[in-house]
Amino acid sequence: MATIASDNRGLRLAVRYAVLILIAVIFIFPLIFMVMSSFKPDQQLLNDTGSFAAFLPVGDISLDNYADAFKRAPVGLFIFNSVLVTGVTVILSLLICSAAAFAFVFVDWRGRELVLTAILATLIVPFETIAIPLLLIASKLPWLGFDGLTFGWLNSYQVQIVPFIADGLTIFLFVQYFKDLPGELIEAARVEGASWGQVYRKVVMPLAGPVLATAAILKFLVMYNQYLWPLMVVQQEGYRPVMVGLQYFFQLNRAWGEIMAYLSLITVPVLAFYLFLQRAFIASIASTGVKG
Amino acid sequence: MSKFGTFAGILLATTLSSGAAFAQTTLSMWYHGAGSEQEVSILNQITADFNASQSDWKVELQAFPQAAYNDSIVAGALAGNLPDIVDVDGPVMPNWAWAGYLQPLQIDETKIASFLPGTKGMWDGKLYSIGLWDAAISLVTRQSILDELGLRTPTLEQPWTKDEFMDALSKAKASGKFEYALDLGTAWTGEWYPYAFSPFLQSFGGDIIDRSTYKTAEGVLNGDKAVEFGTWWQSLFTDGYAEATQDPAARDAGFNSGKYAFSWNGNWAALGTLAAFDDVLFLPAPDFGNGPKIGAASWQFGVSAKSAHPDGASKFIEFALQDKYLAAYSNGIGLIPATASAAAMTENYKEGGKLAVFYGLSEKQALVRPVTPSYVVAAKVFEKALADIAKGAPVADTLDAAVDEIDADIEKNGDYGF
């Protein structure tokens, strides 16, 4: 009986792994196609699409597409811009949204339910509906910088960062997570004389690893994939992010190899960020002992 | 004169001479060609030549990727930071002029008398934009295919009739040598549809908008001729001559790999085809009853309404209209030069050149898309209607719905000033 049960368990495990491997392959194949295609000349790339050769480094392989991509567009500049804008926005967003959520969950003040409801209601408002009013506002806002006081934020980094620091979804994620934290911890800290700022910094945030990782990944993807907003507010090449830069490659005669090379290059920061946070996510759960 | 006087004199002269260099007023220019290295380098050369040729104006170029360009202009207009000089796609120009983004050019029109008609952006009786080039479409095939199928080689003077064209498709299909007889380029969306396919409708006798009033599409987009066109269009797909949904890779490489017998494609793709075969033919559009037609008008230069220096901006545009620059664009990216004299200076469009046929096509078959602000909306409606019909939607109902949508837009915008 024990042998039959063991065999069944083995079979179930094998089936489970087979299904998981199949799903993993389905998800990873587009990435493999992209990277492999980036090494092939256009004609071969197009010919290979109908066969399994599309996923293999076969034929006339070279780095020519990468060299041509750098000639066609300032790829490094675009990646730098996107990483800068995304990185700063993610960090500021985690700070501001977690502080806001802390105030909604732990601090007792009049009207907090109403304000939270209003913020959550913004989740159903698509960005496209507020893009034009936001553009009109951004084009007239003052800014104190190295050039002194200037008006109009167009063609700058701040216009790509500031409007996206606080958002309903990130606040919502933090609120939900904070609600599940043991209230005794907060009460104990307050009884010991900790201020709200100390409770936020020394008690709540050290326990917020999982939600920080989740919110950071979501925010990173949203910011790194920004297209419409930078297209509207950035008219100088020096501030353009990667997604607007992608359009440099869509000419009348499309250079598919260069497109694949560019996509491979701009995917690197996303994968690196994900891998970095994946470890942080696991480490956070292991060290805090708080359920994720 | 004392030493002090000499020193003061030198200082004054130095200040004045350096002042002349700094006296140039900066003109900003937006251009749609970012990512096209040759295109931008030619324009950089023109601006450098212009800046060096006089001391009043200095043009500074900012290039945008084409797919993002029109949206950037609209956003720029909303935010009030349009540049002095813009480039604008020919059929879009009336909308931008009507919306107040552009002002009429201040250039001597005798200088553009010899330009191809499609390069002149006229709206409300005034010249708003001018192009250094035009583009044209042809029916691409090979002499060996025509010979094998026993087909007459059509000419500009005697293009194929509808029956001859359908006979050609039928024979290509029956030969069994091609996956599809005709590559229409349905993989390309957006402006390709009205640019490439509305000339078929016009050749049947219909149109996207009634050009006698520009206030309605009624009767021209859903009249008998239009329904006849729609039925024919649908038959291309139901009879298996062409694909309603096409793989972009097939569009790019299909004809050269022998998938199609004929390809409806533009002059910008011609050099690649010439490199693939030594017997390529660029045939004129067939005549479906109302004369053979192809689209006209490509990107053109204009002056933004916001510009405080329209005289300087117009001077730059006039400077750019020299034959040597028209020829440079043509040699660089394969476009059709706006004048015959510039064409004679080019490698491909001079008499006997590999692409000279396209100059003739532009001259004889080209028809600009409806010159009205409503075209921007009508073009999108037309594209959707054709895509739906290609996939089997009822012809008359679909065209009626398209007319309703176009007319509603015209009415909503107070007839766009007509």
The answer to whether A233 and A138 have CB atoms below 8 angstroms apart is yes
User: Does residue B79 sit at the A interface (CB-CB below 8 Å)?
Assistant: yes
Q: What is the pLDDT of residues A64-81, one digit of tens each?
A: 999 999 999 999 999 999
Residues B125, B263, single domain; the answer is no
Residues B290, B318, single domain; the answer is no
The pLDDT score that the predictor gives to residue A290 is 44
Asked if residue B404 is part of any domain, the answer here is yes
Asked if residue B8 is part of any domain, the answer here is no
User: Does residue A244 sit at the B interface (CB-CB below 8 Å)?
Assistant: yes
Residues B144, B276, single domain; the answer is yes
The pLDDT score that the predictor gives to residue B176 is 97
> Residue A43 has which token pair?
């004609």
Residues B30, B166, single domain; the answer is no
Confidence at A275, pLDDT banded by 50, 70, 90: confident
Asked if residue B320 is part of any domain, the answer here is yes
Rounded to whole angstroms, the Cα distance separating B7 from B299 reads 54
Residues B321, B407, single domain; the answer is no
pLDDT above 60 for B14? no
Q: Where are the beta strands (DSSP E) in chain A?
A: 142-145, 148-151
Q: What is the pLDDT of residues A99-125, one digit of tens each?
A: 999 999 999 999 999 999 999 999 999
Rounded to whole angstroms, the Cα distance separating B4 from A273 reads 67
Choosing from B355, B383, B402, the residue where a domain stops is: B355
Q: What is the pLDDT of residues A124-160, one digit of tens each?
A: 999 999 999 999 999 999 999 888 999 999 999 999 9
Mean pLDDT (whole number) for A190-201:
93
ipTM of the complex: 0.80
Rounded to whole angstroms, the Cα distance separating B118 from B371 reads 11
Residues B206, B99, single domain; the answer is no
Cα dist. A251→B64, B136, B295, B370 in Å?
A: 12, 17, 20, 25
Residues B233, B252, single domain; the answer is yes
Provide the 3-class DSSP secondary structure of residue A150.
strand
Contact B249 A256 (CB under 8 A): yes
Tokens 């005709």 appear where?
Answer: B182
Give the one of B63, B72, B81 whose C-beta lies nearest to A231's C-beta.
B72
CATH code assigned at B256: 3.40.190.10
- Written as one string, the DSSP assignment of A168-187 is HHHHHHHHHHHHTS-HHHHH
Average pLDDT, chain B: 93
The pLDDT score that the predictor gives to residue B120 is 96
Mean pLDDT (whole number) for B55-69:
94
Confidence at B6, pLDDT banded by 50, 70, 90: low
- B2 contacts: CB under 8 Å, gap ≥ 6: none
Contact B67 A250 (CB under 8 A): yes
Task: Mark out the alpha helices in A237-255 (DSSP H runs).
Answer: 242-246
Rounded to whole angstroms, the Cα distance separating B286 from B200 reads 8
Rounded to whole angstroms, the Cα distance separating B365 from B353 reads 19
| Phi (first) and psi of residue B316, to 5 degrees | -65, -45
Contact A232 B64 (CB under 8 A): no
Q: Buried b / exposed e across B380-401, counting CB within 10 Å, b at 16+?
A: bbbbbbbbbbbeebebeebbbb
| Phi (first) and psi of residue B182, to 5 degrees | -130, 130
Distance from CA of A122 to the nearest CA of B (A): 24
Contact B253 A152 (CB under 8 A): no
Share of residues in chain A with pLDDT > 70 (%)? 92
Give the one of B36, B72, B80 whose C-beta lies nearest to A251's C-beta.
B36
Confidence at B19, pLDDT banded by 50, 70, 90: very low
Asked if residue B88 is part of any domain, the answer here is yes
Q: What is the pLDDT of residues A39-67, one digit of tens each?
A: 999 889 988 888 899 999 999 999 999 99
Give the one of B35, B71, B79 whose C-beta lies nearest to A72's C-beta.
B35
Cα dist. B64→A66, A270, A288, B68, B86 in Å?
A: 21, 25, 49, 7, 11
- Written as one string, the DSSP assignment of B213-259 is TSS--TTTSSSHHHHHHHHHHHHHHHTTSS-SS--HHHHHHTTTTTS
Residues B142, B118, single domain; the answer is no
Residues B266, B401, single domain; the answer is yes
- Segment among A203-212, B152-161, B387-396, B400-409 with least mean pLDDT: A203-212
Q: Which residues of A touch B189 (CB under 8 A)?
A: none
Tokens 């087979």 appear where?
Answer: A18
User: Does residue B113 sit at the A interface (CB-CB below 8 Å)?
Assistant: no
Cα dist. A189→A102, A175, B249 in Å?
A: 15, 19, 64
pLDDT above 50 for B220? yes
Q: What is the pLDDT of residues B260-310, one digit of tens each?
A: 999 999 998 898 899 999 999 999 999 999 999 999 999 999 999 999 999
Q: Helix %, strand %, coil % for chain B, to 5?
A: 50, 15, 35
Positive or negative torsion for Cα B114, B193, B280, B335: positive
Contact A136 B76 (CB under 8 A): no
Distance from CA of A161 to the nearest CA of B (A): 18
Contact A154 B79 (CB under 8 A): yes
Q: What is the pLDDT of residues B123-148, one digit of tens each?
A: 999 999 999 999 999 999 999 999 99
Asked if residue B3 is part of any domain, the answer here is no
The pLDDT score that the predictor gives to residue A291 is 45
Asked if residue B364 is part of any domain, the answer here is no
Choosing from B325, B355, B385, the residue where a domain stops is: B355
Asked if residue B388 is part of any domain, the answer here is yes
What domain range is B325 assigned to? 25-134+298-355
Q: Which domains does chain A carry?
A: 73-249 (1.10.3720.10)
Q: What is the pLDDT of residues B345-374, one digit of tens each?
A: 999 999 999 999 999 999 899 999 999 999
User: Does residue B31 sit at the A interface (CB-CB below 8 Å)?
Assistant: no
Q: What is the pLDDT of residues B158-217, one digit of tens each?
A: 999 999 999 999 999 999 999 999 999 999 988 999 999 999 999 999 999 999 999 999
Residue of A nearest to B73 (CA): A232
Distance from CA of A237 to the nearest CA of B (A): 7
Contact B78 A135 (CB under 8 A): yes
Residues B207, B260, single domain; the answer is yes
Rounded to whole angstroms, the Cα distance separating B366 from B368 reads 7
Distance from CA of A72 to the nearest CA of B (A): 5
Residue of A nearest to B267 (CA): A252
The pLDDT score that the predictor gives to residue B5 is 54
* Furthest-apart CA atoms within chain A: distance in Å: 83
Give the one of A72, A135, A237 whose C-beta lies nearest to B37's C-beta.
A72
User: How many structural domains is chain B composed of?
Assistant: 2
User: Does residue A150 sit at the B interface (CB-CB below 8 Å)?
Assistant: no
Contact B67 A247 (CB under 8 A): yes
> Residue B243 has which token pair?
């694909």
User: Does residue A51 sit at the B interface (CB-CB below 8 Å)?
Assistant: no
Contact B269 A136 (CB under 8 A): no
Give the one of B67, B68, B80 whose C-beta lies nearest to A139's C-beta.
B80
pLDDT above 70 for A292? no
Residues B245, B112, single domain; the answer is no
Asked if residue B366 is part of any domain, the answer here is no
Residues B263, B395, single domain; the answer is yes
- Cβ-Cβ contacts under 8 Å between A and B: the total is 80
